[in-house]
Structure 1
Amino acid sequence: MELRDWQKQLKDKVINAVKEGFLVALNSPTGSGKTLFSLLIGLNTKGRVIFVVRTHNEYFPVYRDVKKIDPSLKFSFVIGKPSACPFATKDVDTEDINCKYCEIKNAIEVKIDKSPFEKLKELKENAIKEGFCPYYSLLESAKEADIITITYPYFFIEKYLSLLDINLEEYFIVIDEAHNIDRVSEIEERTLSEFILSMAIKQSKSEEVRRILDRLIKELKTLTYQDEKYIKLDKVPELSDEELSLLVDEYEELRKEAIKSKSVSRIYLGSVIRFYATYSTGNFIPFSFSNKIVLKTLELNQYYNLLNDENLSILLMSGTLPPKEYLEKVLGISRKILYIDVEKEVKKKVTGSYQCKIAIDVTSKYDLRSEAMWKKYSSYLLKIYYQARNHVLAVFPSYQIMEKVMSYVNVNKILENEGTRIDDVIKIVKESRQKYIIAGVGRGKITEGVEITDNDRSLISDVVLVGVPYPPEDDYMKLLSKKISEKLGGKEKEYLIMIPALITVKQAIGRSIRNINDTALVWLLDKRYDSLWWKKNLNCFNSTKIRL
């Protein structure tokens, strides 16, 4: 198999660093061949690889590259109960599935002889008639595999990692899309909303439970704000131990009934119970966000303990990896790090290219927001749409801004929301003969690690950044900044505001560059991009300034 020039140049350097106990951080652009490279490093150093990805959508590229390297290698993947259970719908929570009462708990040996999603579909179709569980079968089969693909929870969250029952020291561990690991704590966040409580009322059979939930809705409304930012709360709606016990009893009955009826959908009462269980640990702080209460933690370092284990061989990689200092100061990685920026190391481009255009007559800056500004943004989007050679990806700082601007854009469009399924978006775009504006929010479902391609070429020709996606300087950000301020040495704004925004922008651009031959236009619609910092970090020194 022929390697790319950069892979040949850096292979031995990375292998030696791994053998010397370094954590390797590889920053290499989208479409440059990181997946294949990391698998080769792992097979050369440990012989077995655990490949950690953010979403199930990222399983296929790993499977594809394993087959390129050696079709005889044993590939396996682990997938959660909601996706694996033949009786469950996709929106169900893991805890809602009560395996104790299930008739098909047996595990069989699984050979992955087709793509992960195709194999999963086959397993679920055969599970009921053959009497085996796809979830436990995949979990058991992973122990014998040369390459195991898992999602973040199975590495960063102890209760899921323990289910694998493997010795991590025997594997080379690749953590893909590693710019996202600063958000691992979100996996354990819990939310209480009027929607969740209302759905729990509909599902509950107990009049007393419904009465309790109705009271919680009323209290929730008095505590929350509609702002799309985190506002610290001093309390949550009160729930006594006796009331919680009633909710738990009702939940157990609903779980038992669901699995026995062989139809398991989300049981919203479970979400309420888990919210209060998490709050009771004392490690999470309640915040209001968009009329909901979200429990968030400031104890981020607990999620990165394994990264500091010098007995583990680990490669962090991303096309938008934060700088080494960010890994050390924000994430608290204290072991030796070899940080490699591939294009700087080999002194040439290793993937496709893009041209930048900076609009200097618009901004999403808070004190300049207005209906007139949203209309101006919509005019830009229409202008870009009509000149684009293919689909347009528009990325917004928030859902609120997206909805306001896109309400004035009357062309073919897809708007991201909480229920958006990436598979559906890809299907619409691939099957359509017309152009679409695909609108999403920074670091949302559409802008993170999604490949909208045909024959390995991106179907997105234009990427539009509608404003600058700075994280809001809200109560959570202030508390986090205060907690780690000593490490940041007065650079709180750079590490907690500027770098996350830069990663968001680069990730959006990456959706249009999936191949070394891809080219794209990047429209930076905010006058704040017209600065040395942004031009330097986006490599946009030759950008064109534009006005409507």
Structure 2
Amino acid sequence: MSQVVKLRDIQERALKELTNRLDNYDIFSLQMPTGSGKTLVALAFRYMYDYRTLVCVRTRNQLMPYIRDAVKFFNTIPGVHLNKGRVCLYLNTEDTELIRCRSCPNYKQTAGIPPETFRRLKAALVRAVAKESLTDPYLLVDRVWGKLLGKGGDLSRIICPYHLFRALDGKALVCTYPFLTYPHLRYYLINYRPEIIIVDEAHNLEDAFKTGWRSITYEAIVRAREELAEYERSTGNSAKAGYYVLSLVQSWFESINRRYGQIEEKVIDPSEYIDLAKEGNAVLEEYASLVSSIVRYKKGRYRRRRVRFFNYRILAFLDLLTDVYAGVEDLVLVLNKGRAELRRYRLRRLYRQLFGPFEGSKVIMMSGTMPSANYLTKVWGIPSERFYVIDLGTRYGKFTCVINRRVSSKYEYRRKEMYYKFAKLLSGIYSTARKSVLAVAPSYEFAGEVGRLLSMSNMSLVVEVEGTRVGDVYERVRKGRYVIIAVAGGKLTEGVEWVGDDGSSLISDVVLLGIPYPKPTEYEELVREYISSSSNPDLQFLYQKERAWVLIRQAIGRAIRKKDEECTVWFLDWRYKDGWWQYRIAGLGTLRR
């Protein structure tokens, strides 16, 4: 071991279980209660056992606990794989893969840092983390490098934050999910050759796996035309090939949207994009050459400014679409509210596609709400003979569970009368609650309908929408007693600490407004069909129920921050009387009839 830190009993148990079995198993599922210290368990593999460790988290905000705990317990800071397009000194862009580092003077400057200078820089970052209250590592970059850039001088002599943060620890690296799930971004992680890969909040891997690789919108097509016009005006070069490609794409995109409108997750049959794939492929090489010229032009003109490369995005989408049509890539084209996306759908290939390239690495998936071993092997395709499950419990505190059979969120019942019943029940629960009430809706639309009915009352109310800012909501709830209508799997039920100044929970009641089953879209139906055809028809029901149960457990976990706290959980749907649900609800705590 490299360093020794005083651990909790549950952390010691987790590490003992894992390290004793590393020689015999390759994949682990680690179930630990929320708040039990999973972050320190992950860091221990590097700083106590000296393994070359890669940690993947869902969001950039979840990077900070690893940075803070490394500073707090080990007086060091791990390597951080930041978004290159967010911290590059010359180019601010979402199209990260267009930034080339090898010829950059700042890359060479960073690679040649003397050891003593590197130690001073790292120590300064450690002090900054210990001193500042930061929720995001990019804020650390902004504060430190912002001061350097503000002084002026020779920009080429400034240390590159992207490469410095990656090099902070040669045997510990933390990153967000996209660098693991997107093939065009994860080449560095594969070359990093970690001995241990730890996926935090691993129940979210499924959604990350199904996120679109490449996509286009009507706005992107319009902006791409504007980009061509600007390029022609500024350089005098012809963009004829680009206009031709955009005409093809726009004609197809408009026709498919006229046919289906703002539908959610409509699977587009290959026959409906065959012409686009064939004609686009015929001019792809000429268009790619033009796009390269446009990229060079914009890089030169928009140094140190926010820039988007719209024709590059169209090219990347077309290139992948032709591969899908040719059978090179196993994806489907999905139209989702006016956006065309290329997505994975074969869930049984999740483990192989995400972790197959990491030859020889041990994989530890950890969460407070891990799916069952049955689900992980049969739905995610984890090889059972190399797989070991460690279950150290799911919760602290005491739960009282209540099932109400007068309502249901089934789609055929989602009418004004049903929303009114949910609103009335929620209002009654709030009237007797000791603290704030966290109500969990199956969708944004459902949350909005119930919230609209409650907004006419005099209660303090927050309704989650897609652009909700967690910090703003937290500040309001910290100062008063609210009804928070959140969305299952949304920002207000995943990873949020509803904690008061004294460290206790701000939530006394959690209300499940129905069952958060996935919306029955064509894409979800395709996923379910593939799962059931792979093994047996019952798996599609397992897929639906397990996903909903994970979302429910995540929401319930928001209410307990200490071992002695209590919470009442209200299950508002008559379908919770089903035996499958009854068994799991009874396992949470006391079931009040």
Query: TM-score range with shorter-chain normalisation?
Result: 0.7 to 0.9
Q: Which residue, out of 86, 94, 97, partners 2:96?
A: 94
| Aligned position for 2:496 | 450
Q: Which residue, out of 58, 65, 81, partners 2:69?
A: 65
Instruction: Give the SS at the match of 2:454.
Output: coil
For 1:218, give the aligned amino acid. E
Contact preservation (8 Å) 2:266, 2:334: yes
For 1:34, give the aligned amino acid. K
Matches within 5 A, 1:121-160: 121-126=142-147, 128=149, 129=152, 131-139=158-166, 141-142=167-168, 144-160=169-185
* 1:505 positional shift: 1.0
| Aligned position for 2:197 | 173
Matches within 5 A, 1:494-509: 494-509=541-556
Matches within 5 A, 1:10-25: 10-25=14-29
- Equivalent residues, number: 533
- Mapped partners of 2:479, 2:369: distance in 1: 32
* 1:243 positional shift: 7.2
* 1:97 positional shift: 5.7
- Mapped partners of 1:437, 1:468: distance in 2: 19
Instruction: Give the SS at the match of 2:20.
Output: helix
Instruction: Give the SS at the match of 1:351.
Output: coil
Contact preservation (8 Å) 1:356, 1:521: yes
Deviating more after overlay: 521-530 vs 53-62: 521-530
- Mapped partners of 1:433, 1:34: distance in 2: 29
Q: Which residue, out of 319, 337, 342, partners 1:290?
A: 337
Q: Structure 1 103/397 Cα, relative in aligned 2: closer, same or farther at 3 Å?
A: farther
Contact preservation (8 Å) 2:438, 2:509: yes
For 2:543, give the aligned amino acid. L
- Mapped partners of 1:88, 1:419: distance in 2: 26
| Aligned position for 2:233 | none
Instruction: Give the SS at the match of 1:315.
Output: strand
For 1:150, give the aligned amino acid. C
| Aligned position for 2:447 | 402
| Aligned position for 1:184 | 208
Matches within 5 A, 1:426-437: 426=474, 428-429=475-476, 433-437=479-483
- Mapped partners of 2:535, 2:548: distance in 1: 17
TM-score w.r.t. length of structure 2: 0.78
Deviating more after overlay: 305-314 vs 501-510: 305-314
- Mapped partners of 2:319, 2:449: distance in 1: 37
Contact preservation (8 Å) 1:86, 1:127: no
Q: Which residue, out of 60, 67, 82, partners 1:79?
A: 82
* 1:502 positional shift: 0.8
For 2:391, give the aligned amino acid. D
- Mapped partners of 1:153, 1:54: distance in 2: 8
Q: Structure 1 540/11 Cα, relative in aligned 2: closer, same or farther at 3 Å?
A: closer
| Aligned position for 1:346 | none
| Aligned position for 1:359 | 404
* 1:24 positional shift: 2.1
Contact preservation (8 Å) 2:85, 2:95: yes
Q: Structure 1 14/214 Cα, relative in aligned 2: closer, same or farther at 3 Å?
A: closer
For 2:401, give the aligned amino acid. C
- Mapped partners of 2:14, 2:251: distance in 1: 61
Contact preservation (8 Å) 1:301, 1:331: yes
- Mapped partners of 1:325, 1:412: distance in 2: 42
Contact preservation (8 Å) 2:350, 2:380: no
Residue by residue, what CA displacement relative to the aligned partner does 1:501-534 show, whole Å, maximum 9, x if unpaired? 1111111222223443443332322221233322
Contact preservation (8 Å) 1:452, 1:511: yes
- List alignment gaps of at least 5 residues for structure 2: 111-117, 130-136, 231-238, 325-329
Q: Structure 1 148/204 Cα, relative in aligned 2: closer, same or farther at 3 Å?
A: same
* 1:118 positional shift: 4.5
For 1:190, give the aligned amino acid. R
Q: Structure 1 482/494 Cα, relative in aligned 2: closer, same or farther at 3 Å?
A: closer
For 1:155, give the aligned amino acid. L
Q: Which residue, out of 290, 309, 315, partners 2:364?
A: 315
| Aligned position for 1:119 | 140
Contact preservation (8 Å) 1:358, 1:526: yes
Between the two proteins, what is the percent identity of the paired residues? Answer: 27
* 1:57 positional shift: 1.3
Contact preservation (8 Å) 1:228, 1:290: yes
Q: Structure 1 104/205 Cα, relative in aligned 2: closer, same or farther at 3 Å?
A: farther
* Residue 226 of structure 1 pairs with residue 262 of structure 2: yes
| Aligned position for 2:234 | none
* 1:187 positional shift: 4.3
Residue by residue, what CA displacement relative to the aligned partner does 1:9-32 show, whole Å, maximum 9, x if unpaired? 454232111233342211112112
Instruction: Give the SS at the match of 1:281.
Output: helix
Contact preservation (8 Å) 2:210, 2:345: no
- Mapped partners of 1:28, 1:134: distance in 2: 34
For 1:498, give the aligned amino acid. K
Residue by residue, what CA displacement relative to the aligned partner does 1:406-458 show, whole Å, maximum 9, x if unpaired? 222325544444444445544x446x623444444322333323334345544
- Mapped partners of 1:385, 1:521: distance in 2: 12
Q: Structure 1 18/146 Cα, relative in aligned 2: closer, same or farther at 3 Å?
A: same
Q: Which has the larger radius of gyration?
A: 2
For 1:512, give the aligned amino acid. A
Matches within 5 A, 1:242-321: 249=290, 253=294, 256-257=297-298, 260-261=301-302, 262-282=304-324, 283-300=330-347, 303-305=350-352, 307=355, 311-321=360-370
Q: Structure 1 211/50 Cα, relative in aligned 2: closer, same or farther at 3 Å?
A: closer
Matches within 5 A, 1:18-33: 18-33=22-37
* 1:371 positional shift: 1.3
Contact preservation (8 Å) 2:180, 2:189: no
Q: Which residue, out of 576, 585, 588, partners 1:529?
A: 576
Q: Structure 1 254/429 Cα, relative in aligned 2: closer, same or farther at 3 Å?
A: farther
Contact preservation (8 Å) 1:32, 1:515: no
Contact preservation (8 Å) 1:127, 1:133: no
Q: Structure 1 102/46 Cα, relative in aligned 2: closer, same or farther at 3 Å?
A: closer
| Aligned position for 2:391 | 341
* 1:316 positional shift: 1.2
| Aligned position for 1:238 | 276
- Mapped partners of 1:312, 1:381: distance in 2: 48
- List alignment gaps of at least 5 residues for structure 1: 344-348
Contact preservation (8 Å) 2:398, 2:589: no
Q: Structure 1 510/487 Cα, relative in aligned 2: closer, same or farther at 3 Å?
A: same
* 1:177 positional shift: 0.8
* 1:372 positional shift: 1.3
